[in-house]
Structure 1
């Protein structure tokens, strides 16, 4: 597909997303979902960069504001009201992320006196750490594009709130662990298990925010050193290899962010090689399973698109390695060359889901907003991938 046609497709997709979710025209009850909206913010920023059209920058800023005023406040069907942080209206406006942000699920959260239901939990609200991480990254991208320090301030405040709410020391003692899902007010866990990549994503994202605050003349007061050290400790001895395509793509995206942070002076030992090795193991498993042979009815677009987004960063990673031979070790070059063999898979995934017939299936329409936004990210990925 020619570049101008690809850009037009992404523009149309993100305009449709704004209409479907109540961003433009503005709805009294917008349909906000934190993971999807984080990718959407990055897409609007990238469209602004590519077109120099202020409409897309304004959509990104309006989306941030709408997320904060929707997911940073209690639900309409909740007996509580106001900011979930408990701040009054005036302070909440200045610190909209200080209590975290809701997921945006259809059903209200499970009360602490209610028995858990694995089936219902997927549709119940609360807070996910891995969604909060994506929103921190989106806020950092907004700050980077606009130069407004408020966005990085909100990202750091969200990092501190999430870290306090999700990390804990087990009753038996030992190293800190993390909960996977917390209540809306961050007072009790809804799913006590730990997400496989949550500590890694937290470690990298906190480092990203730390870099941004140090580079900002207007906002250099915050320090995430303690939180970064906590995450580094939780990460020790963990395995990152996964056969989940969304997780594999996340590892590849993480690898690119690690490389960017290393170029800016962050030292990570052999973390980049470890992450790339885990991604290689995952890609091998994904290829052996060969789920791409299945018809659209049996495939989840947004999970596959995680891989295609991650693979988009491989060429940039290779370029940086060639430009900085003293910084990146030789085994990494071999890993990158090996992973490049999988790049055509990403293009295959994109072509499949750009076919309008495949977007008419139930599996697409049931997850329409997240599917369309992540397809757009895969087609114009730099707003998400480059920090």
Structure 2
């Protein structure tokens, strides 16, 4: 799908991670679309490093409508999009110590009121879900409707669908500069000029830099480093272990395979956009926090990696037309929910750009809270 640069295009999408690829797939049947990607591989920085899951309460109440609207596409994709589902059932526990009972109560009540099937459970049920849990972790809210996402398969399906409908992709092709003209944009890529009617800024951690290169005011997208570790233990840990999330935000972990888990200290270290790598200190913090929860002896750190999660100032995704610069479209600031919300975000934004919305998928989702005009 690597393409030569055309002289003109309807929609130029900057960034071929999950945000750009999903939009390209939704828009390509209706507009001439091109994706430009600065790296050698689409999805290199965030998408390809995600330990993603579909978790209805993850990201908070503002994100929940996008997650709900995306579920059917992930669980039951159309046959021409994927021959198999992208979700594998798991379950989730939001847990706390005895001293955090009020916080767990508030979490459960908040999302129960929003229609989530969340059940408050106590020590006996917690120990059944987490063998070896320490006694102080006596508070939890259980959600059966949680699933792992096959991120690689989903991203590849978006790129495949976009290509099938005529979208072009150029890798090693960063946006160098852009100038607004009377009828669109003149964009410099690889020393050549492309005329584009619209630019979509789906550049993740680099979104504000892309905006600046286009002469557009930034909205304050800030990247943060997130660390993930794969651990092997000296005791049996079930592969089907639920996603375990601390109600106070200190960690999450989930079963990876028999005797192994993926663990994060839920770190958010402000950084400049770059090729993120894990810090030994963050790995040590992650293990220390896990050892405070369970009595599993760590046999080995088998893998460790880091990625970039990018947030707007209010930590809500940003997508839609820039209020001050015609023809400049934002699709950024998705934090850790960009993969589980990608079907809905792509459908909403594609509809704004002229594609017909999928029947019934996004009818109940109001795009206004996500519009960049909220920062104006």
TM over 0.5: no
Structure whose residues are more often helix by fraction:
1
| TMscore range, shorter length | under 0.3
The structure, 1 or 2, with the larger RCO (C-alpha pairs under 8 Å, 6+ apart) is: 2
Larger strand proportion of the pair: 2
**TM-score computed with the length of structure 1 as normaliser:** 0.21
TM-score in terms of structure 2 length? 0.22
Higher Rg of the two aligned structures: 2
